Structure 1
Amino acid sequence: MSVPSVPELLTAAVASLGGTQRDGQLAMAEAVGEAIDGGHHLAVQAGTGTGKSLAYLVPAMRHAVDSNETVVVSTATIALQRQLTERDLPRLAKALTTPLDREPSFAILKGRANYLCLNKVHSGVADEDPGAELFDAFDLSRMGREVTRLREWTSDTETGDRDDLSPGVSDQSWRQVSVSSRECLGANNCPYSDDCFAELARKKAGASDIVVTNHAMLAIDAMSPATILPEHRVVVIDEAHELVDRITSVTTEEISAAGVSQVARRLGKLIDDETADALVGAGEQLEQLLEDSPEGEWTRLPTGAPLILASLRDRLWNARNAVGPAPQAGSDPEAAAARQMALSATDSLHDAVVRVLTVFGEADITKRHDVVWLSADRFRSTVKKVLRIAPLSVAGLLRTSLFTDSTVILTSATLTIGGNFDALARTWGLPAHGGSPGKDGTVGDIDAAGWRGMDAGSPFDYPRSAILYVGKHLRAPGRDGIAEGTLDEMVDLMNAAGGRTLGLFSSMRAAKEASEKLRERVGFPILCQGDDTTSALIEKFAADEATCLFGTLSLWQGVDVPGPSLRLVMIDRIPFPRPDDPLLSARQRDVDARGGNGFLTVSANHAALLLAQGAGRLLRSTDDRGVVAVLDSRLATARYAGYLMAGLPPFWRTTDPKAVRAALSRLTTGAARS
């Protein structure tokens, strides 16, 4: 049978689903199909309302059915995973069953720690002693109730997937019934291997046309010598603007005194007292070292650190070698599980210590590939010093482990910075093209670079639907909290909008300060991130048109509220990274050392991406209208302002506060009349 073309399948899908085909959607679908057939990489910027999920799923399904090959679709967020597996894929599979002559299959695959471990549930092996210094009696009682519910859930669930549990449980409780891939006994040694939820999910994925996973799993699969994902040749990465951060997170390791104590507890009776005491002593030395050291990046090891870290490395290695042989398969699953968990924790910490020592084995800081820093993690009244190590760049990893072996489609509503794809392409390990998308929305010589970029546009009439207002007359933000003039401006804008405001702030401190001060000055309810779960706050915000919602990072990218509940997106300042962020500071310094512009390449790109994501919260449907207000005069006056503005939608732009208040008032009056 001849498989229908991508345009034919898209037309059939849209008709079956009762939607309207858009020009940008068709152009994107055709480009994705051509990239898959031609074996070249493609980056597609597709604005809200384009229908990008359908635009990549249709050619992906076509390829999977025609070639009998699995296509992997990776997302950054659980929300998009759910949208794909619970709504988009089931409906699309049914719509394409007739033209493809069979119903395409799909599955979701997550990391092993996302699934219940039957051996851990039935053996009763505790993850760790929670520690009285961190958890009070109420916490422990709650955890006990949650673990009991999890054990009862084991007999009811068909998937063992944490995300299927409602209501959810704390991370601490979930760890009591789950294992990481390193902690897993393996199918040959586990008495529950035939019923293992993680293995069943992998088996289903291996037989599916489309496998939905996340960026973390994609990274682990790329780095691991073992096969994690089903064999595949094509990868679609949605929410690609988050790829680098998610990969960086997966490749970040940490060392702490609490971590050493956890390893010692897990080893327990598996090693002799002398070896255990030596490990505990090394942990105490580490604790003192970290307590005496200042927070921030380590460009050289503090006095005494080389000996202390080397001692810890050796004590961990000795402890690992002191662990006895594994019990015979199936003879004592509880002992086998405890042994494997202890070895996993020991290996992870040992590898992290070796990695830190390796960094400082290179005297030339410009030749180092990792960044090391000390941070203070605060939990209630407790402060825990943690040494972290992360890659300076993941471009090399992505280039050699992802782009070399697969045809990769990258898509998001925000991929161009400063008007082109080059900034993100470099972070992915792809060569820069230079230039902006042409009239057909494309850029790049495939033969020269192996990839091309495409802007699929948006169905929104941006200049007629929204205003970008920059508070040029306001004092530039400082470090002393929100200026009184900026608060006055917020009051005026919120009153003109009749509430209906999403406030996006550069820090949680600023969000709380603004919410506390403005609650006394406006007559609208103001919700602040942290008052409840983020999802609950968004639901309340969407349900009441007068309500306002203030928050920070997760709201910049995670809010989808079409309709009259959102008329004003208010941004307190350009979201540059904190100047004391050790990883981004090191990346900026590295660019400078190589002759580039570190500020523009790192800080400005970081801010531009977040600004575009924040501005994208406003228009979620073609009927939406409103204002994005950036209360930072630097967006109108600084030398880099044009670069940041180039990544924003082409809203009608103004710096006139009277004009923007009048526009908001007209929208509010119109909404009241309707």
Structure 2
Amino acid sequence: MQAISELFLPDSKLAKTLPGFAPRAAQTEMAAAVARALDGKQQLVVEAETGTGKTYAYLVPVLMNDGKAIISTGTKNLQEQLFHRDLPALRDAIAPKKVVALLKGRSNYLCLHRMKQATAHSGELNKTVQSQLVDVRRWAQRTDDGDIGSLSLLQEDAEVLPQVTSTADNCLGRDCPDYEDCYVVKARKRALEADLVVVNHHLFFADMVLKDVGFGELIPEAAAVIFDEAHQLPDIASQYFGESVSSRQLQELAHELKVLYLTELKDLKQLDKAADKLLAGLRDWRLVFPADAQKGNWRQYSQQPKVQDAAAQVTEQLEFLQEVIKSSLGRHQDLDQAYDRCVQGVSKWQQLQATDRTGFSFWFETTVRQVTLHQTPLRVADKFGGYLRESNMSWIFTSATLAVGDDFSHFTGQLGLEQAATLSLPSPFDFAGQALLCMPRYLPQPHERSMQDALLDLITQVLDANRNGGTFVLFTSHRMLQSIAVTLSAVIDRPLFVQGTTSKRELLNEFIAAGNGVLLGTSSFWEGVDVRGDALRCVIIDKLPFASPDDPLLQARVEDCKLRGVDAFAQVQLPQAVITLKQGAGRLIRDAQDKGVLFICDQRLVSKGYGGLFLSSLPAMPRTRSVPLALQFLRDLDQHNSIESAAEKLVTEESRV
């Protein structure tokens, strides 16, 4: 324990070798707590607010510990940042002999077999995909690890990527002719041999529930698992403990069978016919759903006669395809593998049609062309908590947002962490001097029609005051975002960045480069975004982020609470909204030198009794209801006036709310 604390002293090895390293009391406290949990094979939950330095606080004890460890992050971007930026210098400084590895899901790696297949059948691809395939083949000649993320010529959603990567469904495994050169196999071999493996939450749970064959042997070998951005875990765990089936999966199967008929099994005309029937049935299936992309309650929607008829047609076509494939088993390895996928597809499809089972939410989501059916368990605490209790491992959960007020029970209860110690560490930033929270007076209620015009008026006032700084406007709905974007683009004279117009990473880079840009974003920009300095001086949140009452998973959880005699608002809706608001508010102050204003445009913060719970969960910054005072705060930043003078005005001109 003493050795861990000594590494965080002003004259320590870390201070001497890592640029910009400075001792922080909260960081040292967290590192000591993590070290105790590792030594005692314990569960630990740590809320470490922005600026605590939680990454080093768990990396240092892990690197100093003898056992194998897995670190799981919330996103692939954070995973790469941790592996490429944070880990190398730290490992070199304190544990140079430790072997570290980065492991992503299989769809992030080039599949040599599928690339060769796509090349052989390139004449059947459209011009865009053909051009992208040329770029992939050139890159394939020089890549060492096959990580698609390093293929910078292509966008993240390039059409060619499904053609040159594999999934758990279509991977041939050891039967693949390119198995010995497989990049996924090589990456997993490196992970098995490493002392420290960096994964992401989706990959971790895919392994945990054995959905991704071949990776399941990694977790049992670990002595410790550390979850960063752990607030995401309950929802992700629910996805992986459930089931889903998409029309896209079934369409890909049918298309691959048609290619197999055209190239390898030309005498199997019945195979081509069965695949065409399934494709036609899936097109009809999409037409019984609304044209716009949306989510809905599948248990209710499935009761419509037209939906039942379309589903019955797909069932019949799937079973017909299964029989056709079965009659020719043994003729080709790709056909044999397709049979297994077809059997699984039939099973899942039939399971998702039986919506009378309790304990699950049945819901659907659509895109322009696809429909996905989901069966999601309402509670994962028993399964996940039981898994932890049976393991002889240390489990560390950390995030800037885990508690509601000072209470961790919402998070620990969702995951069944009955034996976890908890620790709350406040931010070292001077929020009282660096930031201001404004809750504007006289705004309409969030549901009122006039709210959009009022919000637009506030945004334009803010932009006029924040001339030389950047502004985030965070929305709880895409509809409001798009409406504001259309009007705002016609009335402002500075760079406007709208979520969805390009990739998140590119949008963020362009926003930072602009210096005084305006970024409109929804859920994906409420967390995992780090913009420092004048590039982000103001964050505007349109309303409290309660989940949509139409969300089918929320509806099912609310109904489950009613059946158990529990207050669904207090137990489900309110805690999740508090944690989400903390994430959004956390975008503003990311550094000890950052200064800015947070606007929350929702009267319920002061008019409803639960508003106090939201406010008590936010950093302790001065509060005002006066928009002119908040705008003057921003102007003072532009004029390089002292932040103290702005704070003094608040004290003298208006009492704190």
Letter in 2 for 1:352: K
Q: C-alpha separation between the residues in 2 aligned to 1:504 and 1:128? A: 43
Name the stretch that deviates more: 83-92 or 389-398: 389-398
Partner of 2:197: 211
Which of 521, 533, 536 aligns to 1:566? It is 536
Letter in 1 for 2:131: R
Q: Deviations over 1:570-608 (max 9, x none)?
A: 111112222211112212221222111212333223321
Q: C-alpha separation between the residues in 1 aligned to 2:456 and 2:235? A: 32
Which of 23, 41, 44 aligns to 1:39? It is 41
Partner of 2:233: 243
Report if the CA contact (8 A) 2:329-2:335 is conserved. Answer: no
Q: What SS class does the counterpart of residue 554 from structure 1 fall into?
A: helix
Partner of 1:496: 465
Q: What SS class does the counterpart of residue 371 from structure 1 fall into?
A: strand
TM alignment of 1:260-339, pairs within 5 A: 260-268=250-258, 269=261, 288=284, 291-292=287-288, 296-299=296-299, 301-302=302-303, 312-313=314-315, 316=318, 319-320=321-322, 322-323=325-326, 324-326=328-330, 335-337=332-334, 339=336
Name the stretch that deviates more: 605-614 or 169-178: 169-178
Which of 585, 604, 610 aligns to 2:555? It is 585
Q: C-alpha separation between the residues in 1 aligned to 2:598 and 2:236? A: 28
Report if the CA contact (8 A) 2:71-2:199 is conserved. Answer: yes
Partner of 1:452: 421
Are 1:407 and 2:376 counterparts?
no
Q: Cα gap change, 1:210/1:114 in structure 2, threshold over 3 Å: closer, same or farther?
A: same
Partner of 2:224: 234
Partner of 1:191: 177
Report if the CA contact (8 A) 2:443-2:454 is conserved. Answer: yes
Q: Deviations over 1:96-150 (max 9, x none)?
A: 14xxxx521100111122111122223448899999xxxxxxxx32221111211
Q: What SS class does the counterpart of residue 45 from structure 2 fall into?
A: strand
Letter in 1 for 2:17: S
Letter in 1 for 2:100: F
Partner of 2:442: 473
Q: C-alpha separation between the residues in 1 aligned to 2:154 and 2:198? A: 22
Q: C-alpha separation between the residues in 1 aligned to 2:508 and 2:282? A: 43
Q: Deviations over 1:442-470 (max 9, x none)?
A: xxxxxxx3111111221101222111111
Q: Deviations over 1:279-310 (max 9, x none)?
A: 76577667656644677313354255678757
Partner of 2:91: 93
Q: Deviations over 1:68-95 (max 9, x none)?
A: x320000111221112111111101110
Task: Quote the offset at 1:267 in angstroms.
Answer: 3.3
Which of 309, 330, 339 aligns to 1:343? It is 339
Report if the CA contact (8 A) 1:279-1:312 is conserved. Answer: no
Q: C-alpha separation between the residues in 1 aligned to 2:152 and 2:499? A: 22
Q: Deviations over 1:368-411 (max 9, x none)?
A: 23222244422xxxx54443333323333322335542321011
Are 1:105 and 2:99 counterparts?
yes
Letter in 2 for 1:77: T
Q: C-alpha separation between the residues in 1 aligned to 2:171 and 2:248? A: 23
Report if the CA contact (8 A) 1:309-1:353 is conserved. Answer: no
Per the normalisation by structure 2, the TM-score is: 0.86
Partner of 2:573: 603
Are 1:639 and 2:635 counterparts?
no
Partner of 2:136: 150
* Gap runs ≥5 in structure 2: 644-657
Which of 21, 27, 30 aligns to 1:28? It is 30
Q: C-alpha separation between the residues in 2 aligned to 1:514 and 1:288? A: 35
Q: Cα gap change, 1:591/1:195 in structure 2, threshold over 3 Å: closer, same or farther?
A: same
Q: Cα gap change, 1:479/1:263 in structure 2, threshold over 3 Å: closer, same or farther?
A: farther
Are 1:354 and 2:355 counterparts?
no
Which of 110, 115, 124 aligns to 1:116? It is 110
Q: C-alpha separation between the residues in 2 aligned to 1:235 and 1:497? A: 43
Report if the CA contact (8 A) 1:76-1:246 is conserved. Answer: no
Q: Deviations over 1:323-357 (max 9, x none)?
A: 34446xxxxxxx534642x2354244223213224
Q: How many positions carry a matched residue from both structures?
A: 618
Which of 505, 525, 531 aligns to 1:535? It is 505
Q: What SS class does the counterpart of residue 617 from structure 2 fall into?
A: coil
Report if the CA contact (8 A) 1:257-1:284 is conserved. Answer: no
Partner of 1:445: none
Q: C-alpha separation between the residues in 1 aligned to 2:488 and 2:110? A: 45
Which of 505, 520, 524 aligns to 2:475? It is 505
Q: Deviations over 1:393-432 (max 9, x none)?
A: 33333223355423210111111124321111122222xx
Name the stretch that deviates more: 4-13 or 449-458: 4-13
Partner of 1:441: none
Q: What SS class does the counterpart of residue 207 from structure 2 fall into?
A: helix
Letter in 1 for 2:32: E
Name the stretch that deviates more: 633-642 or 289-298: 289-298
Report if the CA contact (8 A) 1:470-1:655 is conserved. Answer: yes
Q: Deviations over 1:507-531 (max 9, x none)?
A: 2332232233334444433322233
Report if the CA contact (8 A) 1:569-1:618 is conserved. Answer: yes
Report if the CA contact (8 A) 1:275-1:315 is conserved. Answer: no
TM alignment of 1:59-138, pairs within 5 A: 59-63=61-65, 66=66, 69-97=67-95, 103-124=97-118
Q: Cα gap change, 1:147/1:412 in structure 2, threshold over 3 Å: closer, same or farther?
A: same
Q: Deviations over 1:469-516 (max 9, x none)?
A: 112421111264743233222222222222521111112332232233
Q: Deviations over 1:36-67 (max 9, x none)?
A: 1111111111112211111101111122xx2x
Q: Deviations over 1:166-190 (max 9, x none)?
A: 1334353111111113322223x23
Task: Quote the offset at 1:246 in angstroms.
Answer: 2.8
Q: C-alpha separation between the residues in 2 aligned to 1:302 and 1:284? A: 22
Letter in 1 for 2:485: S
Letter in 2 for 1:219: F
Q: Cα gap change, 1:403/1:117 in structure 2, threshold over 3 Å: closer, same or farther?
A: farther
Letter in 2 for 1:263: L
